[in-house]
C-alpha cells in the first residue's frame, strides 16, 4: 500500500482549500425513513455536527447507519424530519438546489462505489461533475485547474503515479483512497463516510482512518463516520453516537463508552461472552486488552 | 438450520412445476394426445413426396456443380447490396437503440418514459422479419430500401431490449455515488452507466451485424433486395448451379464476418 503520505508537507498547501474558511455545520433532526412500505428504518434519529467536529456513528448491522447517510443526501427520501446544512433544510430543496447541496456533502462509501472500468483519474474527476458542464465532461475535457487539483489529491492520498490505472486493478485500500480523493475534489463542506474500512485489514483500516481524520483537520471539515469497529471509532472519533434500530441510544464523548453503553447499542451479546460475530478484527487497536472478548477492545 | 434436525436423515427434492401427481399425468397425457391428432391432420401425399425427391436429386446435383460465372454480375450486385444493407441497418439501429435502451431501463427513467420505450421495443419485436419485410415491400416497393428498414426495425428491438437489460443490471453503487456528488442525469449515464454496458453493447452490435447479413438473404426472398433477391431469381429459374454458388458465398461471408467480429471483440472488450 505504498508509503504513508503524511511525511510530505509540501503538497498540502497546494491543495488550496482554505483551512480557516467559513465553518459549516450539519444538523439532522428527528429523521424518519423507511424503504417503500416496509418497517421504519429510522424512527426519529437526531444528530448535530458542530463545525469541524468528527463524529463516529456505531451500531449493529441493520441499525440504519448507511440509511442515515443516504437520507442526508436524499438518496432515499426521508418521511419526515429536518436536515439542516448551515441552517438550510435539505428536505425542502428543489432539484437544482439539491444538486448543489449534494456537492457540498462529500460522501465516501462502504464498498468505495467506484466505476471499476474507468481510470483512477476519471473516477476522481467524477467528483467535479457537479460543476463541470455535460459536454466537457462527456468528452473528458475537464477544467485544467480541476486536473491539477486531482493530481494534488492523488499525491495527498498516496496514489502518486497511479492516475491511469484502471480501478479494478487496485487493492481495496487503494480504491478507498480514490474514493477519498473523489469526495475531496467536490470541495465538500461536510464529509459523510460510510464504513470506510469495511473490507480492509486492520493495519490498512488504521491508515485509511488516519488519512480521513487528518484531512478533516487540515480542511476544517466536519465529518460523520459510520464504523463497525468500536476500537477504531474510539480511537479516531472524539464523539460517538450509538444507533440501535433506528434510534439514537447514545451520544457522548468516546471516553464515556463503556460495557453498559455497548450493551445498549449492540445488545447483550456484545460484551463479556464470546461475541465473535460482532467482528471487530482483533489487534486493530494494537493494544490487546484486559478482557480480550470485549468488542471495546480495551 | 441443519443443526436443528439432529440425526434424522432428511429427504429433499427440488420443487416440481406441477405439484399434484394427477394433474401432472393429465397434462402430459393431453399433450401426447394432441401431438398424435395434430400429426394425422397433416396430409401426406406420396406422389408429391416422390416428385420432391426427384427435384431434391436435381438440386443436390446442382449443389455439387456450383456455377459462379454465368450469373456473376447479378450475384456480385446482390452480395454488395446485402453487405451495404447490413452495415447501414446495424449502424442506424445501434444509434436508435441506445436512447431507447436507456429509456427502457427501470432504474434510470420515470415510469411514463419507461413504459413508452418498452412499448416501442415490444412493437418492433412483435413480428418476424419476414412479415415486417412483406409489409415494407408493400409500402416502399421492391428493393433494398424496404430491406434496410426491415433490418433496422428488427435490430432496434433486439439491441434496445438487451441494452435495457444490461442497464438494469449495472452496479448501482457508483451511480449513487455520482448522484451524491451532484452529477446531473446525463453525467450519471455517461460515467455511471455507459462504461459498465458499452463492452456488452459492442459485442451485441457485432453479433447483430452477423444476424443482419443472414437476415438480408432471407428477406430478399420476399422482395426486399440483397442477395436473397438474387437467390429467389435463381431458384425460380431452376438454376441450381447458381443457387449453389450463392449459398456457398453466403456461408463464406458469414464465416468472414465471424472472424472479423472475433478480432474486433478482442480489441474492444
Ligand atoms: N434499498 C433498500 N431497500 C429496502 N430495505 C433496505 C434497503 N437498504 C437497507 N434496507 C433495510 O434497512 C435496514 C437498515 O439498513 P442499513 O444498510 O442502513 O444498515 P447499516 O446499519 O448500515 O448496516 P451495516 O452495518 O450492515 O452496513 C436493514 O433492515 C435493511 O434491510
Ligand atoms: Mg451500512
Give the CATH superfamily of B71-268: MetI-like (1.10.3720.10)
Q: What is the pLDDT of residues A67-90, one digit of tens each?
A: 999 999 999 999 999 999 988 899
- Which candidate from B174, B183, B196 shows the least CB-CB separation from A130? B183
Contact list, B192 vs chain A (CB under 8 Å): 115
CA A271 to centroid of ligand 2, rounded, Å: 22
Is A102 in the B-facing interface, judged by CB distances under 8 Å? yes
Q: Is A246 in the pocket of ligand 1 (CB under 6 A)?
A: no
Element (H, E) at A243: strand A239-244
Measuring CA to CA, which residue among A218, A153, A149, A142 is closest to residue A181? A153
Residue A166 pairs in a beta bridge with: A119
Q: Is A117's CB within 8 Å of B191's CB?
A: no
Looking at residue B44, its pLDDT comes to 76
Please state the atom number of ligand 1 nearest to the C-alpha of residue A70. Answer: 18
| Averaged pLDDT, A231-258 | 92
The closest residue, in CA terms, to atom 13 on ligand 1 is A62
Global pTM?
0.77
| Averaged pLDDT, B213-217 | 88
User: What is the domain partition of chain B in residue ranges?
Assistant: 71-268
Interface of A with B in 71-100 (CB under 8 A): 73, 75, 99-100
For residue B38, what pLDDT band results from cuts at 50, 70 and 90? Answer: confident
Measuring CA to CA, which residue among A104, A194, A212 is closest to residue A157? A212
Name the region of A222 (left: φ>0; alpha: ψ -120 to 50; beta: rest): beta
Looking at residue B269, its pLDDT comes to 65
Looking at residue A238, its pLDDT comes to 93
Q: Is A73's CB within 8 Å of B186's CB?
A: no
Looking at residue A296, its pLDDT comes to 52
Average pLDDT, chain A: 83
Q: Which ligand gives the minimal distance to the CA of A266? A: 1
Q: Is A267 in the pocket of ligand 1 (CB under 6 A)?
A: no
Is A195 in the B-facing interface, judged by CB distances under 8 Å? no
Q: How far apart are CA A25 and CA A53, in angstroms?
A: 9
User: What is the domain partition of chain A in residue ranges?
Assistant: 1-104+190-267, 110-187
Tell me whether 0.90 is exceeded by the ipTM.
no
Contact list, B110 vs chain A (CB under 8 Å): none
Q: Is B181's CB within 8 Å of A109's CB?
A: no
The larger pLDDT score, comparing residue A20 to residue B8, is at: B8
The larger pLDDT score, comparing residue A8 to residue B185, is at: B185
Q: Please name the residue of chain B whose CA is at the shortest distance from the CA of residue A104.
A: B181
Q: What is the pLDDT of residues B249-266, one digit of tens each?
A: 989 988 888 888 888 878
For residue A36, what pLDDT band results from cuts at 50, 70 and 90? Answer: confident
Vertex A29, ends A128 and A176: CA angle to 5°?
A: 35
| Averaged pLDDT, A196-214 | 90
Q: Which residues of B touch A (CB under 8 A)?
A: 171, 173-174, 176-184, 186-187, 190-192, 195-196, 199
Q: Is A67 in the pocket of ligand 1 (CB under 6 A)?
A: yes
Residue A89 pairs in a beta bridge with: A84
Nine cell digits for residue A154: 492523488
Helix intervals (H) in B42-71: 46-64
- Which candidate from B171, B177, B199 shows the least CB-CB separation from A107? B177
Q: Measured on CA atoms in the order B101, B103, B104, B108, is the torsion positive or negative?
A: positive
CB proximity list for B105: less than 8 A, separation 6 or greater: B114, B163, B164, B167, B168
Element (H, E) at A2: none
Looking at residue A112, its pLDDT comes to 84
- B118, B179 in Cβ contact below 8 A? no
Q: Is B174's CB within 8 Å of A73's CB?
A: no
Q: Is A61 in the pocket of ligand 1 (CB under 6 A)?
A: yes
Looking at residue B221, its pLDDT comes to 85
Q: What is the pLDDT of residues B182-199, one digit of tens each?
A: 999 999 999 999 999 988
Distance from CA of B201 to the nearest CA of A (A): 15
Looking at residue A284, its pLDDT comes to 41
| Averaged pLDDT, B48-70 | 82
Looking at residue A16, its pLDDT comes to 45
Is A126 in the B-facing interface, judged by CB distances under 8 Å? yes
B1: pLDDT strictly greater than 50: no
| Averaged pLDDT, B75-95 | 92
Contact list, A186 vs chain B (CB under 8 Å): 181-182
A276: pLDDT strictly greater than 60: no
Fold of A1-104+190-267: Rossmann fold (3.40.50)
Amino acid at each position: 500500500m505504498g508509503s504513508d503520505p503524511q511525511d510530505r508537507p509540501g503538497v498540502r498547501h497546494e491543495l488550496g482549500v482554505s483551512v480557516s474558511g467559513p465553518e459549516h455545520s450539519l444538523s439532522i433532526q428527528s429523521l424518519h425513513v423507511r424503504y417503500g412500505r416496509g418497517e421504519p428504518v429510522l424512527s426519529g434519529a437526531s444528530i448535530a455536527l458542530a463545525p469541524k467536529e468528527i463524529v463516529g456513528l456505531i451500531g449493529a448491522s441493520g441499525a440504519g447507519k448507511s440509511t442515515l447517510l443516504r437520507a442526508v443526501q436524499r438518496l432515499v427520501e426521508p418521511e419526515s424530519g429536518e436536515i439542516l446544512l448551515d441552517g438550510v433544510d435539505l428536505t425542502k430543496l428543489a432539484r437544482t438546489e439539491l444538486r448543489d447541496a449534494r456537492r457540498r456533502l462529500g460522501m465516501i462509501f462502504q464498498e468505495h462505489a467506484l466505476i471499476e472500468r474507468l481510470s483512477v483519474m476519471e473516477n476522481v474527476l467524477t467528483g467535479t461533475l457537479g460543476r463541470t458542464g455535460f459536454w466537457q465532461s462527456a468528452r473528458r475535457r475537464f477544467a485544467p485547474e480541476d486536473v491539477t487539483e486531482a493530481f494534488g489529491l492523488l499525491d495527498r492520498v498516496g496514489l502518486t503515479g497511479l492516475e491511469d490505472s484502471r480501478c479494478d486493478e487496485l487493492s481495496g485500500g487503494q480504491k478507498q483512497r480514490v474514493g477519498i480523493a473523489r469526495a475531496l475534489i467536490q470541495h465538500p463542506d461536510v464529509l459523510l463516510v460510510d464504513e470506510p474500512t469495511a473490507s480492509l485489514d486492520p493495519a490498512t483500516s488504521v491508515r485509511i482512518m488516519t488519512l480521513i481524520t487528518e484531512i478533516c483537520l487540515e480542511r476544517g471539515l466536519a465529518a460523520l463516520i459510520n464504523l463497525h469497529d468500536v476500537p477504531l471509532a474510539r480511537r479516531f472519533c472524539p464523539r460517538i453516537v450509538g444507533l440501535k434500530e433506528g434510534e439514537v441510544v447514545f451520544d457522548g464523548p468516546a471516553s464515556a463508552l463503556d460495557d453498559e453503553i455497548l450493551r445498549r447499542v449492540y445488545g447483550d451479546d456484545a460484551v463479556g461472552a464470546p461475541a465473535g460475530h460482532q467482528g471487530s478484527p482483533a489487534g486493530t487497536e494494537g493494544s490487546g486488552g484486559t478482557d480480550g472478548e470485549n468488542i471495546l477492545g480495551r | 438450520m441443519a443443526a436443528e434436525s439432529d440425526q434424522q436423515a432428511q429427504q429433499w427434492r427440488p420443487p416440481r412445476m406441477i405439484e399434484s401427481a394427477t394433474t401432472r399425468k393429465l397434462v402430459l397425457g393431453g399433450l401426447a394426445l394432441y401431438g398424435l391428432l395434430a400429426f394425422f391432420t397433416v396430409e401426406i401425399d406420396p406422389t408429391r413426396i416422390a416428385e420432391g425427391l426427384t427435384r431434391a436429386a436435381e438440386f443436390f446435383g446442382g449443389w455439387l456443380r456450383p456455377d459462379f460465372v454465368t450469373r456473376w454480375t447479378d450475384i456480385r450486385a446482390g452480395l454488395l447490396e446485402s453487405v451495404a444493407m447490413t452495415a447501414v441497418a446495424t449502424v442506424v439501429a445501434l444509434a436508435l437503440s441506445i436512447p431507447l435502451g436507456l429509456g427502457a431501463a427501470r432504474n434510470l427513467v420515470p415510469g411514463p418514459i419507461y413504459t413508452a420505450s418498452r412499448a416501442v421495443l415490444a412493437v418492433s419485436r412483435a413480428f418476424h422479419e419476414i412479415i415486417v419485410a412483406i409489409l415494407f415491400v408493400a409500402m416502399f416497393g421492391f428493393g433494398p430500401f424496404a430491406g434496410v428498414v426491415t433490418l433496422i426495425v428488427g435490430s432496434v428491438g433486439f439491441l434496445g431490449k438487451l441494452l435495457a437489460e444490461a442497464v438494469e443490471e449495472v452496479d448501482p453503487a457508483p451511480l449513487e455515488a455520482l448522484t451524491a456528488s451532484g452529477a446531473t442525469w446525463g453525467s450519471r449515464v455517461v460515467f455511471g452507466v455507459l462504461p459498465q454496458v458499452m463492452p456488452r453493447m459492442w459485442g451485441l452490435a457485432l453479433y447483430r451485424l452477423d444476424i443482419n447479413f443472414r437476415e438480408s438473404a432471407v428477406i430478399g426472398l420476399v422482395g426486399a433486395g440483397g442477395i436473397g433477391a438474387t437467390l429467389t431469381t435463381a431458384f425460380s429459374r431452376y438454376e441450381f448451379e447458381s443457387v449453389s454458388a450463392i449459398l456457398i458465398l453466403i456461408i463464406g461471408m458469414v464465416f468472414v464476418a465471424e472472424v472479423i467480429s472475433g478480432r474486433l471483440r478482442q480489441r474492444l472488450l
